[in-house]
Amino acid sequence: MKDVPSFLKGYEHLYTASPREATLAWSRDARYGLFLHYGLYSLLGRHEWVQYREKIPVVEYGRLIEDFHADQFDADAIAQLAVDAGMKYINITSRHHESFSLWDTAENDFSAPSSPAGRDLIAELAEACARRGLGFFLYYSHGRDWKHRHAPNNDEWGGAARPHYDPPDPAYAYGDEHDLDIYLEFMWRQITELLEGYGPIAGIWLDGIAVPLSGDESRFRCQELYDHIHAMQPQVLVSYKQGLLGTEDFVAPEHKAVDRPREKPGEICTTLDPGSWGYMADGGPHLGPDEVWEKLRQASAARCNLLLNTGPLPSGAIETRDADTLRAVGERLAREGFPE
């Protein structure tokens, strides 16, 4: 029993019989989690798709790493905020479409530890979650990568695979030189790193589904990846948004529920800033406590968890208005329980 992950306290006997069934049972009971979109895009404050939307050249965008300090990213404070909010888990963008990794990856130096921050943010948050018994999920951009030379390209794939540069950006491989398998092996190794180095993980949350759905999805070898994840950490749940193969452990659509088999768990992800997942500097309106309460009610009615996102400031701190909203909802949950 001593090896049972801290977030599965109370599910020990189920864990002994089947680690993944234990996490599934825990997940159904968890109901509410915190989503964090944090990366180089946070520094610009113009949406997490800013590289794609503004067609910023790959090399120019990459220079943002020189300004990534994360000096106010406080993993303990974030984990405690989740606890105060009545949440049971945290999911963070370990690597978004821009391909910047928040952990100490051996694959390249495009990472937080190689930036002026000089820190492994995934390690810090994993440890903070473990201390509080929170489940730790890792968002990973699978279908899209706007930096890797051999990531899905616009010649073969749709789904906003890459920014549309004119002339073509020389950072990418084209034609016969392009080899998707090189990218797939890169992802395999990175996900392996995340499963090897950061303690028990509750889930791997894959994104970029529109790209494999735009062509022959079998080329992405996703079932092989799912099996690898489960073999490495048998309690880990795998999702790929609303479901790519149908063999995912749960579905995680954006903003509203989708049809799914009754036995398949669901999670609705949405964001406190209706216009963006990453930090936006324009200061537009964010959801308040009553609006979040309604989101919780809708998720409950759909038999889904709610994964509620905030985009940390460039410094890594959580916006005060979002933190205040989360705590206010947590206080109401403590008084009333979840809305049904």
- Residue 4: inside a domain: no
Res 231 pLDDT > 70 = yes
- Residue 122: inside a domain: yes
- Residue 93: inside a domain: yes
The Cα 61–Cα 253 span in angstroms is 29
Q: Which amino acid is at 57?
A: P
Residue 150 pLDDT class (50, 70, 90 cuts): very high
Res 1 pLDDT > 60 = no
* pLDDT tens by residue, 87-141: 999 999 999 999 999 999 999 999 999 999 999 999 999 999 999 999 999 999 9
Res 312 pLDDT > 70 = yes
* pLDDT tens by residue, 27-36: 999 999 999 9
Res 262 pLDDT > 90 = no
Contact 8, 21 (CB under 8 A): no
Q: Residue 169 CB: number of other CB atoms within 10 A?
A: 18
Helix runs in the chain, H state only: 12-17, 19-30, 41-44, 50-53, 58-62, 75-84, 121-132, 180-197, 210-213, 222-232, 289-301, 320-336
Can you give the three-state secondary structure of 242-266, one letter per residue? ECCCCCCCCECCECCCCCCCCCCCE
- Residue 239: inside a domain: yes
- pLDDT for 261 equals 86
* pLDDT tens by residue, 240-256: 999 999 999 999 999 99
CATH number at residue 216: 3.20.20.80
* pLDDT tens by residue, 33-68: 999 999 999 999 999 999 999 999 999 999 999 999
For the residues 259-279, what does the mean pLDDT come to?
95
For the residues 190-217, what does the mean pLDDT come to?
98
CB burial of residue 107 (10 Å; 0-12, 13-18, 19+): middle
Residue 33, φ and ψ in degrees, nearest 5: -140, 165
**Average pLDDT taken over every residue of the chain:** 97
- Residue 5: inside a domain: no
- Residue 100: inside a domain: yes
Q: Which amino acid is at 126?
A: A
- What crossing angle do the helices spanning 180-197 and 222-232 adopt, rounded to 10°? 20
- pLDDT for 2 equals 58
Residue span of the structural domain in which 33 resides:
17-334
- Residue 340: inside a domain: no
- pLDDT for 194 equals 98
- Residue 75: inside a domain: yes
For the residues 189-204, what does the mean pLDDT come to?
98
Q: How many domains does the chain have?
A: 1
- pLDDT for 283 equals 77
CA dist list (Å): 270 to 25, 90, 189, 252, 282: 23, 14, 29, 10, 19
pTM, two decimal places: 0.98
